[in-house]
Structure 1
Amino acid sequence: MTQLRADAQDNRDRILASARALFSERGLDVGMREVARRAEIGPATLYRRFPTKQELIDEAFSAELRTCRQIVVDGAGDPEPWRGFTSVIRRLTALNVQNRGFVDAFTSTGEVDGTISAHREELLGMLAQLARRAQAAGALRSDFRIDDLRLVLLAGRGLSAAEADRRKAAAERFAELAIDAFRAPMCDSADAAGDGRA
């Protein structure tokens, strides 16, 4: 990547900070001109740095995407599939409450086509394998589909509307309710102990 002049780098940093803040607060419906206004630059400067909104989305969420990937990799690598699955639910819900825009991008089925989309398909594939392992172990309900996880993430977007000091507790409670809904009906306490909450 070519080294930017100090003023150009400052503009780029302000654009990304503004985009992250706006996307986090309000999701992906925020327009490019609004990002430019928040960054206190002209639209031409914004488009020079990020010719498309998709490029801005990809760059703005690069850190969240790395975090999301690590969450899924950690969960998929757990030798206890139910524990791995439940850790993914808890950690993704916590990420969800921090950044509504990232969840919008990650769960989108068509609007977002860049880097996030490519990673999403790979990560959802890993999660589907983890879910099959948890089902084979008798811990995850047999009718679970990966779209059910998308549904939980979409429903969890509303948590960002809670007061800031209550979001963490709300996310934790929401995750536990989702986990209870995903648990196999006949899963006894011994199976449930694998979620790390014995």
Structure 2
Amino acid sequence: MTSANNPQADEPAPGSDQRPGPGLRADAERNRDRILAAARHLYAREGLGVSMAAVAREAGVGKATLSRRFATREDLITAVFADRMDAYATAVADALADPDPWHGFTRYIHAVCAMQAADRGFADVLTMTFPTAKTLEARRAQAYNDFLELIARAKGTGHLRDDFTDRDLPILLMANAGVIAATADAAPDAWQRLTGHMLRSYATPGAPLPPLPDAPEPRALYRAMIRITRPAP
């Protein structure tokens, strides 16, 4: 039976001579969408360490169905994050196109931290390599090379410290991840305060900077602190 009531039997078995009809194709497409939605949800909440079995459970499909749609973990990650990697690469390209390289740099740092705040799994993609996910890896490598060029141009303005390196971005993202995880419910904009302070640490004296975002309200910060000190249920 092929229907929404039996999602694990919605596609022909590998090697089958059966030609999928319209109903089978529609069910397969729905399952693919469910898998991608489940993976996005889990990756955003828990990062890329989520198992394929957990994704299948979240999507309500069998492991065989998941394997037919995405043979490897890298295939699934590529499908989930292709649009996010495109957004990241676009952010770097936009920063390079800015006639003021320092302004482009500060805008880029804020944009990447905002992407991380919207999706916890996104930062993992920026700091990991996926040798078998060729398309994703090529896009990530290009964005990384563009970031190196952005750093060089920003230093050329005299506003970015000479000792800033590309390794400072993963450090920022790790710190930002901690703030996002701790304050997401109580003070969801707290990451902007961190980003503002970090930009000031990267800048040379007198460099133009956007206004420092307001600190979280005391009650909101207190709720966040209570939350991280309580053991998880």
Give the TM-score range, shorter chain. 0.7 to 0.9
Higher relative contact order (CA 8 A, sep 6+): 1
CA RMSD across the alignment: 1.8
Structure with max Cα Rg: 2
Give how far 1:88 is off. Answer: 0.5
**C-alpha separation between the residues in 2 aligned to 1:145 and 1:83?**
17
Flag structure 2 segments of 5+ consecutive residues without an equivalent.
Answer: 1-21, 213-233
Query: Which residue of structure 2 lines up, in the alignment, with residue 124 of structure 1?
Result: 144
Q: Which moved more, 1:62-71 or 1:153-162?
A: 153-162
**Identity %, equivalent residues:** 37
1:46 aligned to 2:66?
yes
Q: Which moved more, 1:124-133 or 1:27-36?
A: 124-133
2:56–2:63: 8 Å Cα contact kept in structure 1? yes
- Give the total of aligned pairs: 187
Give how far 1:197 is off. Answer: 4.9
1:75–1:85: 8 Å Cα contact kept in structure 2? yes
Flag structure 1 segments of 5+ consecutive residues without an equivalent.
Answer: none
Give how far 1:165 is off. Answer: 5.8
Letter aligned with residue 163 of structure 1: A
Query: Which residue of structure 1 lines up, in the alignment, with residue 55 of structure 2?
Result: 35
Q: From the two aligned structures, give the one with the greater helix fraction.
A: 1
**C-alpha separation between the residues in 2 aligned to 1:128 and 1:197?**
26
* SS in structure 2 at match of 1:164: coil
Query: Which residue of structure 2 lines up, in the alignment, with residue 163 of structure 1?
Result: 184
Give how far 1:175 is off. Answer: 1.2
**C-alpha separation between the residues in 2 aligned to 1:149 and 1:90?**
11
Query: Which residue of structure 1 lines up, in the alignment, with residue 46 of structure 2?
Result: 26
1:23–1:30: 8 Å Cα contact kept in structure 2? yes
C-alpha change, 1:47 and 1:70, in structure 2 (3 Å) is same
1:27-72: CA deviation from partner (whole Å, max 9, x where unpaired): 0110000000000000000000000000000100122112112211
1:97–1:159: 8 Å Cα contact kept in structure 2? no
**C-alpha separation between the residues in 1 aligned to 2:53 and 2:143?**
32
1:130-149 matches, cutoff 5 A: 130-149=150-169
